[in-house]
Chain A
Amino acid sequence: MPSLKSSEAPASTGSREWPVEAPPAVKTTTRSRRKINDNLTAYGLLAAALVVFALFSWYPIVRGVLLSFQEVNFVDPPQWVGFDNFARLFADPLFATAWLNTLQFTAIALVLGFAVPFVTAVLLNELRHAKAFFRVAVYLPVMLPPVVVAMLWKWIYNPGPGLANAALGSVGLPESAWLDSSSTAMVSLVIVSTWANMGSTTLIYLAALQTIPGELYESAELDGAGLFKRLWHVTIPQTRFVLMVLLLLQVVATMQVFTEPYVMTGGGPEDSTVTVLLLLYRYAFTYNDFGSASAMSLLLLVALGIFAGLYLRLTRMRSED
């Protein structure tokens, strides 16, 4: 950019004169010229980002809302159809199933995905040996591609020669049908998803635990607080912020579950693992009904937005007490 260079030269000479009391008029012009220059440079540096955000983020957000009220076939111009797409969704018996399944997935994922990593983090924080090993081991599954995880566990769950049943058998428990029964399929998916993702939550909790000042435990102990009292009155309140944020993020993430049901069950058996995103995918890419799929996205967006709003409000109210 040669033009930039040449126009910058006077600006810098101007600034160099600053200490030698340049006349005020010159000062303001060079300063404003430099301001303009900086703005031009800034927008030059921002240009690429503005283009990609406009094309792949801002425009799709607007378009998603528009598509929800349109019918598109990519041949004719889109038709406005009002709430037809939503009506079609509500008429689909799978629609309610998908939402209930997703809520079920989220609920179990919260119990498992919330409790297991927290307990693990508290335990790891007490252990003085093999720290590096524990960290690497718990985080290793996070690095595996989710498709690899899903396909691997599909084989582990195999009712016949699968590892999961062999493990149950070795401790004297009855076998399970895992993915093959509509009553256990969803739980089986949650176990996989928890296994694959708990590394990150565990390490985030661990980092939070390490910021707790040791004096708090000491004074609690002097006051006669036992182990569980200290856990309840020191550890949990001190990590509450992180716990609350991760809870929110986890709900948002699990409501969008797709890879596990798509790869492991395809929504079955008996539609017991059809999730919102799986149904959305079917509408868009099996039935080519982009309008209804967008309507589904919009509903998900609104549901998560309402949840996040309420959650933040409630937690803020609680913390202001």
Chain B
Amino acid sequence: MRTLVSPAQLRSGRGKAVYWLVFTVVMVLFLLAFVFPLYWAITGAMKAPAELVRTPPTLLPDQWHPDVWGESWERLNLLTYFGNTVLVALGAWLIQLAVDVPAAYALSKLRPVLGDKILALMLATLMVPASALLVPTYVTITDLPILGVNLINSPTAIWFPAAANAFNIYLLKRFFDQIPGELLEAAVLDGASQVRILVRIVLPISKPIIAVVSILAIVAAWKDFIWPLLVFPDPTRQTLSVALQRMEVDMPLNILLAGLVLASVPMVLLFLFFQRHVLAGLTAGSVKG
């Protein structure tokens, strides 16, 4: 594909030299900026505490302490926090799908009375910055209207607010809109119920968008900090982010660093395995030109 620099320019001797020079500079900068900090964290975790505070810092640990990983797992009680975070993320994911997929389908294909008004009200919530809702939503979950229950310290305090996600509904609806109506009409003629059509016909062809919404949901839940910080005052219920930040003060640095690396591993693996979907989610998130 033709870009800023012409192919002819690139083929010339000088062009080639400049290209490889730029390539090398960019490569070195990328390694330093994005790969090195990760290397630094991983090797830092395996240094002895005394070595971590030495000036100038060492590139390679004098003495390797691979046992730090296990020690960190034990001392930071990571099993509990991983468990809590997985529970929060999986629940948020499943509930978002269970709530948003049927809603988007109804708005896209059944077009009920007042459907566009409802959609507009949902999309309008995207205009409200998340932090403006922090306090009123917190106040609301401490005493749910009508039900009168307090969701503090319960993962449902994360799950249900996460399901009120207009962006998911918008993405899903946009995809469902492209499914030809005749396909569904034929199923209706065969006497299939709408629920059956949704499960048997719509879901299987919507795998790409379901994958994108799923990844957005899981990553957002895993990365979130401020909301879990508010709703989990009980230390045994906290997610990794909240717990690591709380334990920062009284833990040796190498133990803490190991904890930081371990807490990131699932998201990094998720990215490496589902790159295509993660990046599709990114452009789905951006506005089309």
* Residues of A near any B CB (own CB < 8 A): 1, 4-5, 8-9, 12, 15-16, 38-39, 41-43, 45-46, 48-50, 52-53, 55-61, 63-64, 67, 72, 74, 122-130, 133-141, 143-148, 151-153, 155-156, 160-163, 166, 169, 195, 200, 203-204, 207-212, 214-215, 217-218, 221, 227, 230-231, 234-235, 241-242, 245-246, 252, 255-256, 258-259, 262-263, 277, 280-281, 284-285, 290, 293-294, 297-298, 300-301, 304-305, 308
B194 contacts which of A38, A60, A214 (Cβ < 8 Å)? A38
> Among A42, A58, A211, which residue has its beta carbon within 8 angstroms of that of B125?
A58
Known contacts A140-B271, A217-B2: A39-B112 contact under CB 8 Å: yes
| Residue of B whose beta carbon sits closest to that of A40 | B112
Shortest distance from the beta carbon of B153 to any chain A beta carbon, whole Å:
15
Nearest residue in A to B104 (C-beta to C-beta)?
Answer: A49
B77 on interface, CB distance cutoff 8 Å: no
Taken residue by residue from 191 to 221, chain B's Cβ proximity to chain A (1 for < 8 Å, 0 otherwise) reads as 1011100100000000000000000000100
Contact B135 A284, beta carbon cutoff 8 Å: yes
C-alpha spacing A169/B118, complex, angstroms: 59
Interface contacts (Cβ under 8 Å), in number, total: 308
For residues 93 through 132 of chain B, which have their beta carbon under 8 Å from a beta carbon of chain A?
98-100, 102-103, 105-107, 110-113, 115, 118, 121-122, 125, 127-132
Question: How far does the Cβ of A179 sit from chain B's closest Cβ, in whole Å?
Answer: 14
Q: Chain B 266-289, CB within 8 Å of chain A: the 1/0 string? A: 011011100100110011011101
Cα A115 to Cα B33 in complex, Å, equals 16
- Interface residue? B17 (CB, 8 A): no
Complexed CA–CA distance, A234 and B41 (Å)? 41
B2 CB contact (under 8 Å) in A4, A5, A215? A215
Contact B133 A41 (CB under 8 A): no
Would B194 and A67 count as touching, CB distance under 8 A?
Answer: no
User: Quick check: A227 and B5 within 8 Å, CB to CB?
Assistant: yes
Contacts of A227 in B (CB 8 A): 4-5
B139 touches A290 (CB 8 A): yes
